[in-house]
Amino acid sequence: MTEVWARLMIAAQAGDKAAYRLLLDEVQVWLTRYYRHRLPPDRVDDAVQDALVAVHTKRHTWDPSRPFGPWLAGVARYKWIDALRNLKATRTEELPETLGVGDSGDAVVSANVLARLMQSLKPAQADAIRLVKLEGRTVEETAALTGQSASLVKVNIHRGMARLMKLVEGSGDAG
């Protein structure tokens, strides 16, 4: 494709406006794909336009004896770097002056209570509940990690949850 673009650019440099228009249309498609994978969606169109302007203003710097693709990729890369710099310097979201930070005390208390409740379980029950219910692992993964059979993992979860329910309800005499 870049060979076709090189011929179009040679014609454009010789004053062929139709060839130049076709070149810019095709390069625009390529630039859009290039930036779509490198920039946030709302920044792609601006980067494409900036690169097209750079192609236009720097077209005289392309040497027809050299490949067109690397020249275009260089222009696109420099404009991509400019877009990244602008991203860094641009505030993306206004934060309200009255933004409050929530109190995490309840979460800390809950985590401590859960840790104490889990300590009251048999280690196999605590491991099965932690891996399956808290970490989201499958019963099969938990069986492999703990050395228990899948059915034993299920039994330990069931018994451990029953014990936790009794502890929470206040009758700490579960087995």
pLDDT digits 0-9 by tens, 5-36: 999 999 999 999 999 999 999 999 999 999 99
The span from the CA of 117 to the CA of 170, in Å, is: 12
Question: The pTM is what?
Answer: 0.51
| Amino acid 162: pLDDT | 92
Distances (CA, A) of 110 to 27, 49, 105: 57, 53, 9
Helix (H) or strand (E) segment spanning residue 94 = none
Per-residue DSSP letter, 170: T
pLDDT in tens, 112-148: 888 888 999 999 999 999 999 988 899 999 999 999 9
Domain edges within the chain: 2-89, 120-169
Q: What is the mean pLDDT of the chain?
A: 88
Instruction: Tokens 């010789």: give the residue.
Output: 14
pLDDT in tens, 106-118: 777 778 888 888 9
120-169 under CATH 3.30.70.20, yes or no:
no
Instruction: Tokens 């946030």: give the residue.
Output: 40
The span from the CA of 39 to the CA of 43, in Å, is: 6
Is it true that 2-89 and 120-169 share their CATH fold? Answer: no
* CATH code of the domain occupying 2-89: 1.10.1740.10
| Amino acid 91: pLDDT | 61
